[in-house]
């Protein structure tokens, strides 16, 4: 007979736990899942030495505490069978039905994801995680319970693995649990991860909390007793419970507010649970007439619930012994949602969804609304890295609540701007936003919104969102929409350029040009429509001559017999050369030909600037005045014999090439993040003519890790100097940070970037 770990739950005990809150549970399903999982895991053991089956059993027990349906409990028992035993999806479908089989397979895929890895891989795995959750939210509930039990037994794992698992928990799973409203689970996950990642801080805070609790035990009992009696005198039955903050929540508040332990004002908290919403406000009246309140520490989440469904009244009072105490006042239903979050909405009957949506949630779940919106971003074409960044922003931010002029409540992450507000109302409003009024006053779009602000968006049909907005926006929805609008704008620009190129090519060949003729070229070039074909020509991905031949098969290129290193009217063959890298001088002031690689003798004359869109050993240089930096949109201008010159798209020098589109080459940055390089930029600065003025400018550039190449005094006057500074920076953000800090100096009157 197999020897079980002491205290492991028996089959009948698990069934009793479920039937206690769900008398109509399918006991046969639970018994069958218990036996099947026990047999499949057989003699397998965990790192602790316990039978492996104890793990899925504990996961199931955690989910019974959340009062979940019998189908979810069965999935918990089976969740590791496909991955760790000889069980298959088809076998589970046959024994338990396709619904349970699908859930178990979804969990199997998630368990294979490494969420703490190289950024691109982590992003794609996180995307897969949320896609699995989107199919049925019970996958998330089982996965969180699985992670919680693994964290509870983390001390049995090899030491070198603990940090990775704790980091993954702190970065992904704990915020997800919090975003789903499962606060108790989030706090336990955070505490265990905190203990693993920062054991000294955990022990220090824990010891301080224990000592504080021992010293103030009478205070806690006094408040509980006094409040219960005061409420009873007014005919209100209430449950009053004191509670301690957890070590990680204390640590996080100390970090965020730069406070010492003694400065924290609400280490003690009390929860008051009553029968009705009306009673919540009556309790508030009793509290505020019994003790003094702390100004600015009142929040009503009943009238304006959080997006994860949390509802409660928060207030902080000055209790006996002048100790500040936080009170949370709520109904029993609110208390259940506060404890179980999204699980409180996941109600099933006999394993069926009972007419609810695909995630098994009632439609009034605000947490589910966030989940649906987040998953919707997956379909918008963002890269995995962008999706991960945007989702993490929303996972970790607190919220502010603002209103439209008509009184509609809009919840946003803390730090959000009117741009985020506009996109939260509707994508179309965000795309046409040109200004904002906050509480009736015109304010900049970069203004940080505060709780209670009324925001009115000023719109214009001629507006398109500038790409710079993406750096200002906080919400994932706004950032994704701005990127889509920018891509569409760029596509239209390339389309117009492509049309111009093709019309010139067709005219030179004396061939007819029409949209119907271009449609004949779509199949040859694997393009879905004419607009995409034109954009591809504008980008240089498809040559004009190639399109011409597809539209007019009888056309013969008279230049084919002449050898030239510049095919397609001076355009490089980008399709063949995608991804090739060339060495270019980093110093924008070097002459043409200096610094490119010598293909024959292997001599390398300069540091590397990776550029996509080139073919052949072609001399490449920066624009002679101002250079370009990663983050700039760039274009290459081809000059016979001299090679290619790289310009930022905003360079005024490009105007002289407006009627020479055949010389324009689409190039893009191809930066190696593991080997960062500096790039040239030029600034025009007007500064006061006073001692130390230049030193202040040099200090700002140096403190921001910029490198000055050259300084030239352009004009001297009694009251100011005008100078040109050539410097090297990592990218556009780095350059903008230097510019902004220079502008903040009192001795600097203006700073502008020079583009030659």
**Dihedrals phi, psi of 100, to nearest 5 degrees:** -70, -40
Q: Residue 104's CB: how many other CB atoms inside 10 A?
A: 26
* Three-state helix/strand/coil letters over 103-163: HHHHHHHHHCCCCCCCHHHHHHHHHHHHHHHHHCCHHHHHHHHHHHHHHHCHHHCCHHHHH
Q: Residue 233's CB: how many other CB atoms inside 10 A?
A: 9
Q: How far is CA 44 from each of CA 39, 47, 457, 693, rounded to the nearest angstrom?
A: 10, 10, 61, 73
Catalytic residue among 65, 84, 454, 573: 84
Active-site residue 84, yes or no? yes
Helix (H, G, I), strand (E, B) or coil at 636: strand
Residues 688-698 as b/e (b if ≥16 CB within 10 A, e otherwise) read beeeebbebbe
Active-site residue 83, yes or no? yes
Helix (H, G, I), strand (E, B) or coil at 256: helix
Q: Which residues pair with 665 in a beta bridge?
A: 636
Radius of gyration in angstroms for the set of CA atoms belonging to the chain, rounded to a whole number: 32
Supply the DSSP symbol for 267.
S
Residues 6+ apart with CB under 8 A from 10: none
Catalytic residue among 27, 65, 83, 524: 83
Q: Which residues pair with 243 in a beta bridge?
A: 269
Q: Please provide the DSSP assignment of 295-356 as one string.
A: TT--EETTTS--TT----EEEEEE-GGG-EEEEEEEEHHHHHHHHHGGGGT---BTTB-TT-
Q: How far is CA 457 from each of CA 5, 136, 406, 414, 437, rounded to the nearest angstrom?
A: 63, 37, 12, 19, 6
Q: Which residues are catalytic?
A: 83-84
């Amino acid at each position: 007979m197999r020897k079980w770990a002491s205290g492991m739950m028996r089959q009948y005990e698990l069934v009793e736990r479920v039937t206690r809150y769900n008398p109509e549970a399918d006991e046969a399903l639970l018994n069958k899942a218990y036996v099947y999982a026990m047999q499949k895991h057989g003699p397998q053991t965990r790192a602790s030495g316990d039978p492996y089956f104890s793990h899925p059993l504990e996961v199931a027990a955690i989910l019974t505490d959340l009062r979940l349906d019998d189908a979810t409990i069965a999935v918990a028992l089976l969740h590791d069978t496909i991955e760790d035993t000889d069980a298959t999806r088809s076998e589970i479908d046959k024994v338990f039905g396709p619904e349970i089989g699908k859930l178990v397979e979804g969990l199997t895929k998630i368990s294979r994801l490494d969420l703490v890895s190289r950024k691109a891989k982590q992003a794609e795995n996180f995307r897969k995680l949320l896609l699995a959750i989107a199919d049925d939210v019970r996958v998330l509930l089982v996965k969180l319970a699985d992670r919680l039990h693994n964290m509870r037994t983390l001390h049995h794992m090899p030491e070198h693995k603990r940090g990775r698992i704790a980091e993954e928990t702190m970065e992904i799973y704990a915020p997800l649990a919090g975003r789903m409203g499962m606060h108790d689970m989030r706090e336990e996950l955070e505490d265990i991860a905190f203990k693993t990642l920062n054991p000294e801080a955990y022990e220090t805070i824990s010891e301080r909390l224990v000592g504080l609790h021992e010293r103030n035990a009478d205070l806690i009992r006094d408040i509980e007793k006094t409040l219960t009696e005061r409420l009873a005198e007014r005919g209100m039955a209430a449950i009053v419970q004191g509670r301690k903050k957890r070590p990680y929540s204390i640590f996080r508040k100390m970090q965020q507010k730069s406070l010492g332990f003694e400065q924290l004002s609400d280490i003690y908290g009390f929860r008051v649970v009553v029968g009705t919403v009306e009673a919540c406000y009556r309790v508030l009246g009793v509290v505020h007439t019994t003790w003094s309140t702390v100004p600015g520490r009142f929040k009503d989440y009943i009238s304006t619930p959080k997006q994860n469904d949390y509802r409660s009244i928060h207030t902080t009072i000055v209790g006996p012994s002048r100790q500040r105490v936080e009170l949370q006042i709520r109904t029993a239903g609110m208390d259940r949602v506060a404890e179980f979050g999204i699980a409180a909405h996941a109600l099933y009957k006999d394993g069926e969804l009972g007419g609810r949506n695909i995630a098994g949630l009632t439609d009034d779940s605000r947490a589910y609304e966030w989940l649906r919106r987040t998953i919707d971003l997956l379909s918008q074409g963002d890269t995995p890295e962008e999706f991960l960044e945007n989702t993490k922003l929303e996972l970790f931010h607190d919220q502010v609540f603002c209103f439209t002029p008509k009184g509609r409540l809009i919840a946003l992450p803390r730090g959000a701007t009117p741009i985020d507000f506009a996109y939260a109302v509707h994508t179309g409003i965000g795309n046409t936003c040109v200004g904002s009024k906050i509480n009736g006053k015109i304010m900049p779009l970069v203004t940080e919104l505060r709780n209670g602000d009324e925001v009115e968006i000023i719109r214009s049909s001629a507006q398109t969102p500038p790409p710079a907005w993406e750096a200002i926006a906080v919400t994932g929805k706004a950032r994704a929409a701005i990127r889509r609008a920018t891509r569409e704008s760029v596509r239209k620009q390339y389309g117009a350029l492509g049309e111009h190129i093709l019309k010139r090519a067709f005219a030179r060949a004396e061939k007819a040009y029409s949209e119907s003729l271009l449609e004949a070229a779509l199949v040859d070039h694997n393009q879905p429509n004419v607009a995409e074909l034109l954009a591809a020509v504008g980008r240089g991905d498809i040559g004009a001559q190639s399109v011409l031949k597809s539209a007019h098969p009888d056309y013969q290129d008279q230049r084919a017999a002449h050898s030239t290193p510049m095919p397609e009217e001076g355009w490089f063959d980008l399709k063949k050369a995608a991804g090739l890298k060339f060495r270019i001088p980093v110093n924008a002031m070097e002459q043409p030909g200096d610094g490119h690689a010598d293909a024959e003798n292997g001599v390398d004359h300069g540091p590397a600037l990776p550029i996509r869109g080139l073919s052949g050993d072609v001399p490449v240089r920066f624009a002679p005045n101002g250079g370009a930096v990663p983050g700039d949109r760039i274009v290459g201008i081809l000059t016979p014999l001299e090679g290619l010159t790289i310009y930022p798209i905003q360079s005024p020098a490009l105007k002289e090439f407006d009627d020479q589109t055949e010389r324009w080459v689409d190039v893009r940055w191809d930066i190696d993040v593991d080997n960062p390089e500096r790039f040239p930029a030029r600034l025009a600065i007007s500064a006061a003519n006073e001692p130390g003025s230049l030193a202040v400018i040099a200090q700002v550039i140096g403190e921001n890790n910029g490198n000055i190449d050259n300084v030239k005094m352009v004009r001297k006057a009694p009251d100011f100097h005008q100078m040109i500074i050539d410097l090297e920076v990592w990218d556009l953000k780095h350059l903008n940070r230097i510019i902004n800090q220079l502008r903040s100096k009192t001795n600097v009157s203006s700073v502008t970037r020079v583009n030659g």
